Amino acid sequence: MYLIKNAEVYAPESLGVMDVLVGGGQILKMAKDLPAEEAYDVEVIDGSGKVLVPGLIDAHVHILGGGGEGGAKTRTPEIMLSDIISGGVTTVVGCLGTDGCTRTMSNLLAKAKGLEEEGITTYVYTGSYQVPVRTLTGKIMDDMILLEKVVGTGEIAISDHRSSQPSKKEFARIVADTRVGGILSGKAGLVNIHMGDGENRLKFLRYVLKKTEIPASNMLPTHINRSRALMEDGIDYAKNLGGYIDLTTSSDPDFLDPDEVKASTGLKTALDEGVSEDHVTFSSDGQGSLPVFDSHGKFLGLGVGKVTSLYREMRDAVLTDGVPLTAALKAVTCNPAALLKLPKKGRIEEGTDGDLVLADRKTLEIAVVMAKGRVMVRDGQVLAKGTFE
Ligand code: ZN
């Protein structure tokens, strides 16, 4: 058991300075002053001068690797445990990407199981970019009902030259099947939607909201910050239709495409324009392929998107863009938890999972990461390594 003493708790709402007792993988108790001697075999972690926040949820990670768009040699490698936990992320949703041929659902599920065995919490989406959706059992609904880790469908590509160019009706059918699969399995039934540069932007999502009874909470369009025009459409969609939007964090902030919006700045803009702080999420798009530049901006080759960018953009939102800590945390904790219907995730309260990040109050530098009650990072050093690290 661990007793975290005198930390300023952000649940993500600010709760002030508290002690938090973690045991059996869960948050057991929270109070202003918990005596250490109350529990047998308890290790005290000093939280003074630090904030305690929920472990981050990354709802879009290519855990198997992604890429391959420059030929087979550009397929990115599988993710390792330390790539995830070093950035304070304790829950990931794995997905396939452009390549639904050599990357398969069975492989994705096995990788997700492996990461879970190594200590974090994992889920997956069924499908890839393509429509009809490639599934394990043959149908979205069956995958949702029969496979425990499947919480939705994605990433389905629309408004993109790499998309299967589904019709509006085909797209609505995917959302409907995912929703009903979610209802029958007691899961979220969320469709993660890859947004490309196309001029249709969020037209298909507007169509679903207008022509069907499906609520906005079954759809999460991602890469909304890839262009200013899409960002503007996303803000309108969230503000006027109650939609949810997801900003991607893994682009190198020093060499953003001139039209791309840094995720932290995108969050600030969305909030300033009146989008509810409950309707914006961040995800990393981690382990996908990413161009790498030298300090002069010269293209060096391909690298791999980092899950750690999720924490970086949350921190930059607070320290650089002036977003309140609670609002920035929501985008990476309770908001994705609500959309993914994960009641034990994304919040610090008695009975939720022991997924926690302890960070410096001023710099937000990570000191401790705990996943399901186990210390994975301590003094900024990764203690828990993956099987082949
Ligand atoms: Zn994508």
CB-neighbour burial class of residue 316 (10 A; exposed 0-12, middle 13-18, buried 19+): buried
Q: What pLDDT score does 38 carry?
A: 60
62 CA to middle of ligand 1, Å?
A: 9
The residue whose two tokens read 């079954």 is 218
What is the pTM assigned to this prediction?
0.97
- Report how far ligand 1's centroid is from the alpha carbon of 359 (Å): 30
Give the phi and the psi of residue 25 in degrees, each rounded to 5.
Answer: 80, 0
If you measure from the C-alpha of residue 258 to the centroid of ligand 1, how many angstroms do you get, rounded to a whole number?
19
Q: How far is the CA of 53 from the centre of ligand 1 (A)?
A: 28
- Given a contact cutoff of 8 angstroms between Cβ atoms, the answer to whether 144 and 114 are in contact is no
Helical spans, DSSP H, in 49-148 = 81-85, 105-117, 140-146
Q: How far is the CA of 119 from the centre of ligand 1 (A)?
A: 26
- pLDDT at residue number 367: 98
- pLDDT truncated to tens, each residue of the chain (389 aa)? 999 999 999 999 999 999 999 999 999 999 999 887 665 789 999 999 999 999 999 999 999 999 888 889 999 999 999 999 999 999 999 999 999 999 999 999 999 999 999 999 999 999 999 999 999 999 999 999 999 999 999 999 999 999 999 999 999 999 999 999 999 999 999 999 999 999 999 999 999 999 999 999 999 999 999 999 999 999 999 999 999 999 999 988 888 888 999 999 999 999 999 999 999 999 999 999 887 777 787 888 888 999 999 999 999 999 999 999 999 999 999 999 999 999 999 999 999 999 999 999 999 999 999 999 999 999 989 999 999 99
Question: Beta strands of the chain (E only): which ranges?
Answer: 2-10, 14-23, 26-31, 43-46, 50-54, 56-61, 89-94, 121-126, 150-158, 190-195, 219-222, 245-248, 280-283, 289-293, 299-304, 356-360, 366-371, 374-378, 381-382
Cα 51 versus chain centre, distance:
21
Q: How far is the CA of 195 from the centre of ligand 1 (A)?
A: 7
Q: What is the pLDDT of residue 39?
A: 59
Beta bridge partners of 248: 283
230: enclosing H helix or E strand: helix 228-241
The C-alpha atoms of residue 219 and residue 211 are separated, in whole angstroms, by 15
Q: Residue 140 in contact with residue 153, Cβ under 8 Å?
A: yes
User: Ligand 1 centroid to 352 CA: how many Å?
Assistant: 30
Cα of 155 from ligand 1 centre, angstroms: 6
**175 C-alpha to ligand 1 centroid (Å):** 17
Is 285 tagged catalytic? yes
Q: How far is the C-alpha of 365 from the C-alpha of 196, rounded, in Å?
A: 33
Q: Which tokens go with 25?
A: 């993988």
- How many C-beta atoms lie closer than 10 Å to residue 239's C-beta? 16
Question: Considering 285, 316, 321, 353, which one is annotated as catalytic?
Answer: 285
What CA–CA distance (Å, rounded) separates 361 from 321?
Answer: 17
